[in-house]
């Protein structure tokens, strides 16, 4: 069992400062909950392993990085439903979610939790299985995604770290959807013949629609909500979503986010096999 890097943000000093200022102390993730994180993932992996028959299957792993804005958790919830409708992943699904409204519905999202979950899934998945990895968070120009939650010290997940995690887990077939600003920066570190990577924006462009009051991002609405139910392939869903986003940004006078997609030579035939 590994030691999770869920570093608690509220120290004795900050608590004392809050008390002195006559303010409520900051919320802290209980150490007992931190200690339970590996066990929560293990329990879900055990359930997944009981629904892993022979033959190629799809598995879903969702990652909602920022808990202070509900939009990311909601987007990953919708992603899980949409990919279940397409590939039947409900029994082979795990979500890592930062959501300040609920700290216990799912294991918390952190770099360490993602590494742990990928290694565990790699032990369950066969060589011909496909991982669908959906990530939703704030993104930065240095090819990283933000990780934060009430009571956690902020962290970041880099594209290079993610590529290394997948390699270490032995997961070769993968569909990766990155809903974040500058998401295109994840393409180069993760591209290969067995990978499809769909990014909400180009590597040098922000995307739109996140915020404390948002239900979904622009990308989440266009791709997960609108395109996936009515298109025959993921490539077609991406093209439909890109067109919708482009038209919306033009109408609203926003700088184009330019969603990107990389499709490896072998992945689409594998996805067609799963649909059959």
Asked whether residue 109 carries a pLDDT value surpassing 90, the answer given is yes
Q: Is residue 3 part of a domain?
A: no
* Strands annotated E in 65-137: 93-97, 130-136
Q: Residue 231 maps to which CATH number?
A: 3.40.50.1460
Asked whether residue 16 carries a pLDDT value surpassing 60, the answer given is no
Q: Is residue 232 part of a domain?
A: yes
Distance between CA atoms of 251 and 57, rounded to whole angstroms?
41
Q: Is residue 82 part of a domain?
A: yes
Q: Is residue 221 part of a domain?
A: yes
Q: Is residue 130 part of a domain?
A: yes
Residue with tokens 């290969």: 192
pLDDT of residue 150: 87
Confidence of residue 23 (pLDDT cuts 50, 70, 90): low
Nearest to 136 by CA among 99, 93, 91, 106: 99
DSSP-H helix ranges across 31-89? 31-49, 70-87
Residue 170's alpha-carbon distances to 167, 187, 220, 257, in angstroms, are 5, 19, 29, 33
Residue 111 burial (CB count, 10 A): 19
Residue 200 structure tokens: 């909400």
What is the number of structural domains in the chain?
A: 1
Q: Is residue 126 part of a domain?
A: yes
Mean pLDDT, to the nearest integer, of 64-78? Answer: 97
Segment 244-248 long-range contacts (CB within 8 Å, at least 24 positions apart): 245/218, 245/219, 248/218, 248/222
The range of the structural domain enclosing residue 271 comes to 12-275
Confidence of residue 6 (pLDDT cuts 50, 70, 90): very low
Residue 94 structure tokens: 């795990």
């Amino acid at each position: 069992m590994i030691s999770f890097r869920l570093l608690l943000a509220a120290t004795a000093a900050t608590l004392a400062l809050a008390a002195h200022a006559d303010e409520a102390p900051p919320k802290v993730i209980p150490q007992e909950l931190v200690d339970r994180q590996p066990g929560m993932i293990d329990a879900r992996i055990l359930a997944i392993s009981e629904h892993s028959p022979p033959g190629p299957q799809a598995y879903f792993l969702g990652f909602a990085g920022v808990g202070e804005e509900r939009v990311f958790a909601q987007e990953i919830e919708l992603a899980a439903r949409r990919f279940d409708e397409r590939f039947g992943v409900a029994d082979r699904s795990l979500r890592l979610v930062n959501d300040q409204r609920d700290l216990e519905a799912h294991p918390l999202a952190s770099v360490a939790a993602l590494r742990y979950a990928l290694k565990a899934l790699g032990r369950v998945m066969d060589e011909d299985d496909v991982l669908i990895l959906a990530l939703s968070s704030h993104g930065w120009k240095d090819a990283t995604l933000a990780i934060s939650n009430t009571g956690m010290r902020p962290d970041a997940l880099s594209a290079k770290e993610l590529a290394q995690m997948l390699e270490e887990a032995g997961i070769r077939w993968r569909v990766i959807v990155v809903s974040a600003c500058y998401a295109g920066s994840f393409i180069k570190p993760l591209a290969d013949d067995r990978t499809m990577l769909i990014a909400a924006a180009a590597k040098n462009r922000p995307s739109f629609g996140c915020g404390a009051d948002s239900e979904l991002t622009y990308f989440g609405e266009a791709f997960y909500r609108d395109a996936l139910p009515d298109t025959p392939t993921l490539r077609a869903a991406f093209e439909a979503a890109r067109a919708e986003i482009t038209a919306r940004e033009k109408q609203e006078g926003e700088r184009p986010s330019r969603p990107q997609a990389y499709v490896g030579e072998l992945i689409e035939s594998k996805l067609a096999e799963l649909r059959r």
